[in-house]
Amino acid sequence: MRERPFRRPAPFGVLLVLVAGSAASAPPPRPARPDLVVTVEVHRELRSDGWLVRLRVDLRNEGDAPAGPSTAGAWCRAVEGGPCPALEGSYDVGPAPAPGATGVVRLPSPALPPGGSAFVFGPRTKPWPSGVYLLGAAADVLSAVEESTEGNNAATASVRVP
């Protein structure tokens, strides 16, 4: 008897995957939306006419869709000493976000692609009196952008002016 070499059979067959549930019970896909997130930095500088404080508002789109142009807002609240200084120049100002705070200065913000970022500076002011201040900023204060998360749009920082 002649011996034949062993050969593997050619692969064939059907892979069957069973999925529990039905397409009707699957949640609908979440729509892609922007998510504007804010951080703030405070810069303090002594000049010949007194202390100047400037707020830098960093805006990031951490969502998965572009955010159109919007309006950021900045405000001040004197915690100790004060009051917050007068604005230097003409600004569009909305209502105060909390008792004791200044009105919200509205600052134009650019459109941001997903993962994009930009910064805007807070308003120019007169020299600051001695005190401790809480400076705040928020993205999209006029609610023009429908976001995936609205609760992370604001941030604050404090500064002491000698």
pTM, whole model, 2 decimals?
0.79
Distance CA 146, CA 33 (A): 7
Residue with tokens 């000049």: 47
- Strands 104-109, 70-81: pairing kind: antiparallel
Strand order in the sheet with 36-47: 36-47, 50-61, 117-121
d(CA 10, CA 19) in angstroms, rounded, equals 28
Q: What are the sequence ranges of the domains in the chain?
A: 36-161
3-state secondary structure of 154: strand
Q: In this predicted structure, which of 15-29, 70-84, 93-107, 121-135 has the lowest mean pLDDT?
A: 15-29
Under CATH, which number does the domain 36-161 receive? Answer: 2.60.40.10
| Stretch 22-34: mean pLDDT | 78
Select the more confidently predicted residue: 28 or 52: 52
Buried-state track 115-149, b at ≥16 Cβ within 10 A, e below 16 = eeeeebebbebebbeebebbbbbbbbbeeebebbe
